[in-house]
């Protein structure tokens, strides 16, 4: 006997998510504070209304902790590689390098605010592209408020497959499609919608810089870069989803120098009355490092690229290293309603030597060793890096553990299934148009595409199955909507406002980014609906 799909049971199942949204939206709680409350509510509902016992709660909660660990071991070293590079003052070198290859002001803005921040999202994520991109844009004369808006626009598209695909892995983990053919089908839908996001972002930056004149001058570069970003990611996602965003952003970063040498962009060009620019603030607050070279500054990323390509693309080496897998055995659990979670000898096994977190850790440590030996990181630098890593990752660690435990308990006790069944009854086939907006909402609430996929991935999957909709399309729309949500994610907006020196003006930023986010999501919604229902 399954739990009854009644109004009361639907309300009870929705309580954990509803309270989580209430705390984060109405009371402005961070995910680290709200997630434990959501977890407590999910456990209470499971016991009171869904006939779960404490033994089941403990075992399913342990599965959630293991799920969280496989994600956290990417986040922790991702922040390490950023902090090592930042401690060496290498990002200022990147800024000067970007300025050196072209005198075209619009291309400089695109290079830093779209191409470079996309590269950072491909490898680090978690607000790092905004934190770095904002002051670098100020350094070339962009007004502070636009210095926050531009990287928010520029990095959003890479939210799903960025950070070596941590958000994508979360979606596959939640839906059980890890390593399956279905994963490639979902990736096609996701990357197709994300390509649209990428192109609109580049075009919007040109429009904000100089209206129609800026768009006409920047459009050739936008088309070329978007083909590499969006098209490259789409192709790579069919072979290796871990590398899909990383490699495409690496290629674009290299190719932008060729664009700068082209006839259209090598001469000095600027719109002097652009509302985006205040050339009096050029180089304000930017420190220069007199010794480190551009290629030295890029050393951790070169190392990461080499290690990743070597281990993931050399099949014999990958097989040998991937043969060591670790995991835990779990017995069968069941609720009083007869919801059964089968036993397993090795639950979601992890291959440490071929895991993205290992690649990031090695690259970060190599970068630290080199910078320290060369004197770019002084005494006490390691301690400062460690303190900043703990300060930055502690909240996300609490949030991710809480959210994944909550999601696992809701799923294993039947709450997610009841929630999906009730929603399907109300919306019917029109639900397909809603799916991108659910992804958007998840990222807006949690400031994370990854967390959005954790919160709503299985819900979207279950609803699609009930309505007999294309699962690949609905899940692709979920994570594409989550990527768009990066445009309006409060955490990233606050982080950018802080590094740009305009903390307190987040509302002004949101007034610019929200209409764009809603507009792009609406386009994705119409596309999914027309293809699934009308076509």
Compute the distance between CA of residue 462 and CA of residue 448 in angstroms, rounded to an integer.
Answer: 22
Distance of CA 70 to the CA centre of its chain: 16
DSSP labels, 310-323: HHHH-HHHHHHHHT
Compute the distance between CA of residue 19 and CA of residue 23 in angstroms, rounded to an integer.
Answer: 6
Give me the pLDDT at residue 285, please: 44
Which residues of the chain fall below pLDDT 50?
Answer: 283-286
Instruction: Please name which of 390, 392, 393, 369 lies closest in space to residue 381, comparing C-alpha atoms.
Output: 369
Give me the pLDDT at residue 450, please: 86
Compute the distance between CA of residue 295 and CA of residue 314 in angstroms, rounded to an integer.
Answer: 26
Instruction: Please name which of 454, 511, 524 lies closest in space to residue 146, comparing C-alpha atoms.
Output: 511
Compute the distance between CA of residue 477 and CA of residue 191 in angstroms, rounded to an integer.
Answer: 10
The sign one gets for the Cα dihedral 214, 220, 223, 228 is negative
End-to-end CA distance of the chain: 38
Exposed, middle or buried: residue 500 (CB in 10 Å: 0-12, 13-18, 19+)?
buried
Distances, alpha carbon 204 to alpha carbons 311, 346, 530, in Å? 38, 48, 25
Compute the distance between CA of residue 104 and CA of residue 140 in angstroms, rounded to an integer.
Answer: 12
Exposed, middle or buried: residue 7 (CB in 10 Å: 0-12, 13-18, 19+)?
exposed
Pairing of strands 340-341, 344-350: unpaired
Compute the distance between CA of residue 35 and CA of residue 41 in angstroms, rounded to an integer.
Answer: 10
The sign one gets for the Cα dihedral 371, 372, 374, 377 is positive
Give me the pLDDT at residue 361, please: 93
- Whole-prediction pTM: 0.78
For the chain, give me the number of helices (H) and strands (E)? 23, 4
Give me the pLDDT at residue 283, please: 45
The Cα diameter of the chain in Å comes to 73
For 101-119, what is each residue's pLDDT tens digit? 788 999 999 999 999 999 9
Residue 534, both tokens: 């009308």
Query: Which residues 6+ apart lie within 8 Å of 281 measured at CB?
Result: 138, 141, 143, 144
Location of structure tokens 């999601």: 407
């Amino acid at each position: 006997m399954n739990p009854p799909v009644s109004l009361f049971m639907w309300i009870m199942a929705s309580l954990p998510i509803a309270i989580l949204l209430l705390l984060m939206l109405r009371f402005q709680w961070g995910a680290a504070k709200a997630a434990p409350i959501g977890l407590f509510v999910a456990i209470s509902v499971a016991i009171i209304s869904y006939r779960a016992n404490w033994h089941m709660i403990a075992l399913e909660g342990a599965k959630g902790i293991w799920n969280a660990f496989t994600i956290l071991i990417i986040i922790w070293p991702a922040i390490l590689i950023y902090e090592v590079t930042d401690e060496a003052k290498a990002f200022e070198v990147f800024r000067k390098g970007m300025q050196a290859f072209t005198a075209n002001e619009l291309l400089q803005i695109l290079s830093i605010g779209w191409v470079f921040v996309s590269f950072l999202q491909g490898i680090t994520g978690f607000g790092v592209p905004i934190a770095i991109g904002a002051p670098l844009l100020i350094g070339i004369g962009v007004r502070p408020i636009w210095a926050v808006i531009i990287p928010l626009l520029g990095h959003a598209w890479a939210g799903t497959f960025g950070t070596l695909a941590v958000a994508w892995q979360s979606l596959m983990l939640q839906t059980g499609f890890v390593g399956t053919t279905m994963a490639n089908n979902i990736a096609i839908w996701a990357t197709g919608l994300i390509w649209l996001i990428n192109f609109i972002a580049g075009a919007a930056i040109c429009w904000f810089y100089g209206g129609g004149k800026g768009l006409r001058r920047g459009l050739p570069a936008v088309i070329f870069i978007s083909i590499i970003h969006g098209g490259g990611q789409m192709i790579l996602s069919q072979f290796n989803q871990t590398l899909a965003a990383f490699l495409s952003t690496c290629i674009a970063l290299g190719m932008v120098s060729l664009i700068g040498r082209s006839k259209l962009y090598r001469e000095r060009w600027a719109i002097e009355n652009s509302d985006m620019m205040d050339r009096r603030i050029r180089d304000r607050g930017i420190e220069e490092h007199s010794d480190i070279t551009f290629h030295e500054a890029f050393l951790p990323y070169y190392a990461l690229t080499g290690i990743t390509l070597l281990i993931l693309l050399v099949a014999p080496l990958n097989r040998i290293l991937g043969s060591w897998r670790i995991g835990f055995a779990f017995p069968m659990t069941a609720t009083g309603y007869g919801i059964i979670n089968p036993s397993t000898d090795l639950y979601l096994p992890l291959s440490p030597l071929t895991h993205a977190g290992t690649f990031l850790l090695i690259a970060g440590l190599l970068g630290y060793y080199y910078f320290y030996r060369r004197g770019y990181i002084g005494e006490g630098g390691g301690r400062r890096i460690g303190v900043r890593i703990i300060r930055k990752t502690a909240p996300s660690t609490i949030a991710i553990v809480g959210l994944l435990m909550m999601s696992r308990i809701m799923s294993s006790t039947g709450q997610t299934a009841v929630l999906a069944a009730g929603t399907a009854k109300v919306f019917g086939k029109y639900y397909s148009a809603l799916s991108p907006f659910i992804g958007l909402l998840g990222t807006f609430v949690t400031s994370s595409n990854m967390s959005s996929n954790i919160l709503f991935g299985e819900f979207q999957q279950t609803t699609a199955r009930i309505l007999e909709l294309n699962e690949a399309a609905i899940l692709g729309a979920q994570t594409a909507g989550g990527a768009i949500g990066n445009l309006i994610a409060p955490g990233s907006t606050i982080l950018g406002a802080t590094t740009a020196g305009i903390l307190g003006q987040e509302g002004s930023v949101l007034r610019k980014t929200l209409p764009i986010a809603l507009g792009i999501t609406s386009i994705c919604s119409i596309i999914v609906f027309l293809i699934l229902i009308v076509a």
